Structure 1
Amino acid sequence: MGSMGQWLTAKNCSIGREDLLIGEKLDAAADEGYPRVELWWPFGTPEPAAEEMDELVAGLEKRGQQLVALNAWAGDMAGGERGILHQRDMPVGHIDALDYLHQRTGVRRFNVLLGADGREASAAQVARFGQVQSQLERRFGGVAMVEPLSGMENYPVQTVVDAECVIAQVGGGLLLDVYHLAVNTGVSGVDEIVDSVRPEHVQVADSPGRGAPGTGELPLGEWMRRLRNAGYAGEIVGEWLPS
C-alpha cells in the first residue's frame, strides 16, 4: 500500500463481501485496523424494522466502530439496478430509516444513486434526488451524495461535470471515487480536477483491477496529498475488492 496508508481514514466493509453476514464484514474491517467504516445498504428492504437496524448499531458499538457513510437503498443491485429515482420517488419509509440510523450512529452522508435509464439524467430524476437531499437536510443536516460511476453505459452520472450539474440544480454533495473517475477519464482526467474539485466524500481503489493501493497504476497517494493541500478535510475511504 506504500505511502497511501497515511491518507486512509476508513474502510468500506461491503465491497466484495456480499456473501458475508454484516458482523463478519465489520470483523474484516476491524481485523484490518479500521475503526471507521462505510457500508452499502445492508438490509434486504428499503424499510427495515427497528430491530434490524438496532442489530447493526449493536454490532458497530461492540467493535468500537463509527459509521461514516452509507449507501442509500438502490433497488435490486444484484439484478443490475443502480437506484430507482428514474422510476419513482424514494419511499418515505426509507428516509425514516436513514433518519433512524443517523440518530443511532451519527451517520449523515448517504450515497444516493439516480437510476440507470440512459446517459442523460431526466428532470424527474434530478427532482427526485433533490427531494431526498431536501428531506435529509431538513431532518438532521444530512447530505445526499452524487457519485460518478464506471462500467455502466446507461448511467447518467459518469464524470464530475455530470455530478456537479445535478448538485447545482438541487443541492447535495460530490462523492469522488477516484477509481471510477480514472476508469472513465483516465489518469489525465483525474489530474485535471483533483486540485480544484470540492468533494463531500472520497473513496479510493487502484486501477486496473479495483484492488488495494499499490496493486495497479494510479498515483493515489499523490492525488490524496493534493486533495488535502487543496483543503479537503473529509474521509478518505478504501473501497477496493479483497485480494
Structure 2
Amino acid sequence: MARFAANLTFLFTELPMLERFAAARRAGFDGVEVLFPYDLAAKDLAAACQAAGLEFVLLNTPPPNWSGGPRGFAATPGGEDRFRRDFDRSLRFAQALRSRHLHVMAGKAEGPTALRTLVDNLKWACERAPHASLLIEPINPHDMPGYFVSSCDIAAEVIDKVGAPNLGMQFDAYHAHLITGDLVTAWETHLPHIRHIQIAGAPGRHEPRVGDIDYGDFFRRVDSAGYRGWVSAEYVPLTTTEAGLRWLRGGAAA
C-alpha cells in the first residue's frame, strides 16, 4: 500500500511553513514535500519534520523559491555551470533534510541541443550523488509553456539515455492526464520508470475527488502494481486544506 504525503507548498497554507508539518501529521499524512524550501534554514525544517514524526519525501532543484526565477536550468545549453552550482546547494539541503527524492527541474528549452544538455547534466548529477534518488517530471504545456520535459515519453527517453540507476520519473497524475488524456495507459506504460507519484484533480488542480480522474480506480491500480513508494497530494484546496481531506480519510470518491 502506498503512503501519502502532503505537499506543504500547496497544503496547509493557512499556517506558517514550520507549523504545517504538525498539521499534516494530525490530518493523517505520513510524509511531506516542499517544492522550494530554501527561504528557511534546513535545520529548522528538519526539526519540524522530525518533531511531527514525518518523513521528508521530496524537494526541487534549483533554488531560489517558487515565487521567482526560471523553472530550472538542467536543459539550458550554456547553463551548465549554473545548473551544477544549484544542484550542489540543493543536494546539501536534501541531505540535511534526509529527503527521499530530489526533483531536478529541466527548465524551458527545446530541440536536440537541449536534450543533449539535459542528458549530460543528469549524468553528471547521478555520478555526483550516486546514493541520492533523482527525479525528472513531465509537466503539461498549459501550466508551464516551453518546459522541456513536457511528456512522459520525453522523460522516459531521457532516463534511458542517462542510464543511471538513481534516476527515475516523478509521475504527477494531474499532469499525465492533461498531457495524454489517458492516465491509465500512461501509468501502465511508464511504470518501470516511476519512483514517485503526485495527485490532484483535473482540470483545476483541486482535491483528488474533484474533476475527471477516477482516483479510486487509479489507487487500486497503483496497489495492484505493487508500488511501494509515496503518493503526494499536490493540489490547491477549494477552501481550506482541512475541509477538503475527505479523500484521504474516506477514499477519493468520498
- If the length of structure 2 is used for normalisation, what is the TM-score? 0.78
Confirm or deny: 8 A CA contact 2:115 2:158 kept in the other structure: no
Q: State which drifts further: 80-89 or 232-241.
A: 80-89
**Equivalence for 2:116:** 123
Shift of 1:154: 0.7
CA 1:142–1:241: 2 relative to 1, 3 Å: same
Paired with 1:146 and 1:195, the residues of 2 have a C-alpha distance of: 18
Confirm or deny: 8 A CA contact 2:2 2:228 kept in the other structure: no
- If the length of structure 1 is used for normalisation, what is the TM-score? 0.82
**Count of aligned residue pairs for this structure pair:** 226
- 2:237 equivalent to 1:242: yes
Confirm or deny: 8 A CA contact 2:63 2:86 kept in the other structure: no
Structure 1 regions of 5+ residues with no counterpart? 1-5
- 2:194 equivalent to 1:205: no
Paired with 1:175 and 1:125, the residues of 2 have a C-alpha distance of: 16
Equivalent of 2:62 in 61, 73, 98: 73
Q: State which drifts further: 151-160 or 197-206.
A: 151-160
**Equivalence for 1:155:** 147
Identity rate of aligned residues, in percent?
A: 26
Confirm or deny: 8 A CA contact 2:37 2:65 kept in the other structure: no
Shift of 1:97: 4.9
Confirm or deny: 8 A CA contact 2:205 2:235 kept in the other structure: yes
Aligned residue type for 1:81: P
Equivalent of 1:174 in 169, 181, 190: 169
**Equivalence for 2:241:** none
Give deviations 1:196-235, integer Å, cap 9, x for gaps.
Answer: 4221111111111111111112012212221221232211
Give deviations 1:24-63, integer Å, cap 9, x for gaps.
Answer: 332442342223111112114xxx8xxx211111111222
Equivalent of 1:142 in 119, 132, 135: 132
CA 1:129–1:219: 2 relative to 1, 3 Å: same
CA 1:79–1:69: 2 relative to 1, 3 Å: closer
Structure 2 regions of 5+ residues with no counterpart? 239-254
**Equivalence for 1:98:** 91
CA 1:221–1:136: 2 relative to 1, 3 Å: farther
CA 1:193–1:183: 2 relative to 1, 3 Å: closer
Paired with 1:236 and 1:38, the residues of 2 have a C-alpha distance of: 10
What's the RMSD between the two structures over aligned residues? 2.5
Confirm or deny: 8 A CA contact 2:137 2:172 kept in the other structure: yes
Aligned residue type for 1:223: F
Paired with 1:93 and 1:210, the residues of 2 have a C-alpha distance of: 29
CA 1:101–1:228: 2 relative to 1, 3 Å: same
Confirm or deny: 8 A CA contact 1:7 1:221 kept in the other structure: no
Give deviations 1:132-154, integer Å, cap 9, x for gaps.
Answer: 222121xxx11210100022231
SS at match of 2:80: coil
